[in-house]
Structure 1
């Protein structure tokens, strides 16, 4: 098992490589850290003067670190109602408890969320691609996965762009609002308050609902 610091370094490397377009990480004060040697021995990174490079062998492990961190944030925000001001600090400690198998169960429990509370993408896992563990009780699910008459409260929105987000805001689909699914075909019809709205599947998929039990 990797040390916590080694996981943090992998996470930072993956974010810089995949999301910020950088190819290397400046070591700075980290050059003599034991975690650097740990990752080099495993063949996950290569050190070049004052920079480290993420190698192919380390990419999957790095992506898994990012996935666990963002799933931990989503879990803490949606289930434990941890506020944004401290969520990153708490999730940094919590993510190290999530490992393969458990992280997929958490992901399924949350309805396979696509973004973290900071709107950063959550790398998909095996459970997302294969839709396994379907029998696991879900706390949250996209509106598009609900059955007619299912109800709950909107937990968060995962709109793909500003235009889509504006459409949701215009119909009052906001976090904390109660919602009931009335129809799934030919369009998704739901009720908020005394008003009913019809939307397509793509928009319905962007509304994540905390299910009432």
Structure 2
């Protein structure tokens, strides 16, 4: 809804300006693209998302959590658009602004895992961590390993891919090698051979080192 988008934009702006150590009401109003920023501010106050004094606007606990997720979706979308879809810088931000309003929690977490839980957006700004990032941080040494370290015969689930070249990523995707897919490693020499669905696929060692997987417990 339009009103919700305007409120989201306000919360996002407050978060971003706070990163610049700016919280005064005058600057927030000047930097807002929304002509109805005062109405959006009123709605956010009524929803207990912000608190306002004579010259300052701050996020409440509820507003903090909501703003965090909005910024997270926006910056992950920027990362996806730049690194995977190769969208130009001129279109990246506007498209990310649209995506931040429609990405659901599950899709957002999947994008984050697909990108390898990035810490910074293309502009160098920090991407707020999600639950998937915390799980990855806690379990990665024990559970998530490169395919190159898997024992032949094991069934594993792809967690994320970090190929060095975009073209390589497209090739893997076309072969069905994407996060969430279960594969079986048949052999490692002279080349890695994995089974994806009903198809055996040969890949080289370099690619195997950039496919991160988790063992499927039987």
TM-score, normalised to structure 1's length?
A: 0.60
- 1:4-83 to structure 2, matched below 5 A, reads 4-17=5-18, 19-26=19-26, 27-28=28-29, 33-49=38-54, 51-83=56-88
CA distance in 1, matches of 2:207, 2:44: 52
The 1:34–1:78 alpha-carbon spacing in structure 2 relative to 1, beyond 3 Å, is same
RMSD: 3.4
Deviations 1:159-190 (A, max 9, x none): xxxxxxxxxxxxxxxxxxxx964998xxxxxx
**Structure with more of its chain in helix, by fraction:** 2
Q: Which runs of 4+ in 1 moved over 6 A?
A: none
The 1:28–1:97 alpha-carbon spacing in structure 2 relative to 1, beyond 3 Å, is closer
The 1:72–1:25 alpha-carbon spacing in structure 2 relative to 1, beyond 3 Å, is farther
CA distance in 1, matches of 2:40, 2:205: 50
The 1:180–1:38 alpha-carbon spacing in structure 2 relative to 1, beyond 3 Å, is farther
Give the one of 95, 108, 115 matched to 2:120: 115
TM-score, normalised to structure 2's length?
A: 0.58
Counterpart contact for 2:52–2:58, Cα < 8 Å: yes
- Name the count of aligned residue pairs: 153
Choose 1 or 2 for highest CA Rg.
2
5+ long unaligned stretches in structure 1: 135-143, 156-178, 185-208
Give the CA deviation at 1:4.
1.0
- 1:126-205 to structure 2, matched below 5 A, reads 126-131=131-136, 146-148=146-148, 152-154=163-165, 181=206
CA distance in 2, matches of 1:102, 1:4: 19
Residue number in structure 2 paired with 1:125: 130
Give the CA deviation at 1:70.
0.1
